[in-house]
Amino acid sequence: MRDPPPRPLRPGEDPSLRGGRRPATLRELADFAASKLPYVDGSTRWMRSALELYAEATTYRHNDDNESAYILLVRCARILDELEAHEIDVSTRNRSEQLGYQIMDDLNRLKLPLVAAVDRWQAYHPQAQLGQLPETAFTPLPRRRAPARPSDQVIVQQMDQIHLRSPPVPPAQLAFPSPSMSRSRSEDTRRPSHSSLPHKASHSSLPRSDRSSAPKREHPVASHRTFTSSSHAVASKIPLRWLALPKKLPSSFVSIAKPNTKRNLETCGLLLGRLERNELRITTLLVPKQRATADTCATTHEEEILAFQTKHDLLTLGWIHTHPVQSCFMSSLDLHTQASYQAMLPEAIAVVCSPKSKPDLGYFRLTDPPGLQTILHCRAKDLFHPHAALPLYTDAHGQGHLRIVDDLAFRVHDLR
C-alpha cells in the first residue's frame, strides 16, 4: 500500500519538515552534550573553557542554530559545575555564578523553539511516535538547518531537570558535531575525563610536544598506520565547516620561532579566530609565554591567554608548533594534544612546522573515526606509546576541510 500524500502546509509551518528528519529532543541534546564534555586542568582553564563555549553558543543563537547552541550551553553548565571542585578566587567564583545564571536563562529561552520543532515534526508524521522510532530514524543536520518558524499552536513541554553530574548516555547516530572551542592544557594535564571514558590518558599541554623518546614507527613516512591522506569523508563521519587559514601565517610563525629553532628549542602558538557565515576563519596567531626544550614546548601564564581571548572575542581553532630536530609528523603525544582540541571542535587542526626537513609543513587532524575515538580511549600512561594499527590522523588540507587563503588578513600577538 502506498503512503498517503502529505497534507497541505499549515500557516507558519516549516516545509523542510516534510523530509522525515526528526529534530532532536531536549533530552537527546543534553545527553549528547554530556557525552562530549572535555577534561581541562585548573580553575583558570575551566573558566576559559566555559567562556569560550558560551561565546560560540551565542554565535549559534544569532545564526538560529538552536540545537548547537543548546548543546554548547549544557556543556558550559557542566564545566561550571566541575569548576566548583576547584579552589577558586572570589573574582572567578563571582564570574562563574553570573555566567551560570545567564546560561540557565538562555537554556530556558531555547526550550520553546526546540520543543516546537519536535512538535511540528510529529504533526507532519502522525503515524510515528518518538519512543517507537529506531535511533537511526533521524540524523540532525549540524549547523546548517533553517531557522525554526513559529507554528500556530506551540505546546510548551518541560524536559526533565538536567542533572549535571549524572553519567551521560550519548544517543546512537546523533550526528551533531561538537561546535565548541579547544582548551589550553598544562604540562601535566590528562586526557578528557568523563564517566563515559575509561580513564584519563596522558597528553600534552596546550600546545605541547615532546618527542625525545618518540618511537620511529610514529613517523608517518614509516608507517601508514598513523597517517592517511584519505578523503574528507574518511577523515570525518560528520560534516565539517570550512576552516580558512591565511597562507602566510605558517611562514610568519616560523620566522618568529627562528631564534628558538637555531637553539633547537621548540615554539608553540595558538590559532584563534571567529565563526563568520558558517565558516571558521583563523584571524590571529597568538604566541603565549612558554617554556621549551629541544623536544618540549609548554604554555605558561594561562590567565593571560584567557584575558586576551575574552577581550578580543576569539575562539581557539587549532594550534601550531615547530619540530626543530624532527620531521613533519604527529607523535603519540601530539595525537593526544590534538584529540583535546578536536573533541571540543571537530574542525580544529594541528599545524606542524619542520624547518630542517622535507616536507617542512603539515596540516593535520585526527580521523573520526577511528583516530579520535582511539586516542580518547587510550589507556597508556607513558608519555610515548604505540597505538592501534589504524589510520589515526590525516591531512586536513587537500581533500579535507581546510582552505589556505592567499588574501586572508591576520594579526600576530606575541605575549612572551
Cell of 319: 594550534
Chain-centroid distance, C-alpha 343: 5
User: Per residue in 60-93, pLDDT tens?
Assistant: 888 888 998 999 999 899 888 888 877 788 878 8
pLDDT of res. 131: 52
Q: Which fold has domain 16-164?
A: Methane Monooxygenase Hydroxylase; Chain G, domain 1 (1.20.58)
Q: Domain boundaries in the chain?
A: 16-164, 243-414
The three-state secondary structure class of 189 is coil
The residue among 369, 362, 306 whose CA lies nearest residue 334 is 362
pLDDT of residue 130: 55
Distance CA 201, CA 189 (A): 9
Which positions of the chain have pLDDT values less than 50? Answer: 1-19, 132-234
Q: Which of 220, 85, 70 is nearest to 165 (CA)?
A: 85
pLDDT for 214: 40
Q: Taking CA 295 as the corner, what is the angle to CA 290 and CA 296, rounded to the nearest 5 degrees?
A: 25
The Cα 362–Cα 359 span in angstroms is 8
Inter-residue contact 236 to 346 (CB < 8 Å): yes
Q: How much is the pLDDT for 128?
A: 64
Give the DSSP letter of residue 186: -
Looking at domain 243-414, which CATH architecture does it have?
3-Layer(aba) Sandwich (3.40)
Residue 180 is predicted with a pLDDT of: 32
DSSP code at position 368: B
Q: How far apart are CA 83 and CA 95, in angstroms?
A: 11
**What is the C-alpha to C-alpha distance for residues 34 and 158, in angstroms, rounded to an integer?**
19
CB 172 within 8 A of CB 28: no
pLDDT attached to residue 261: 97
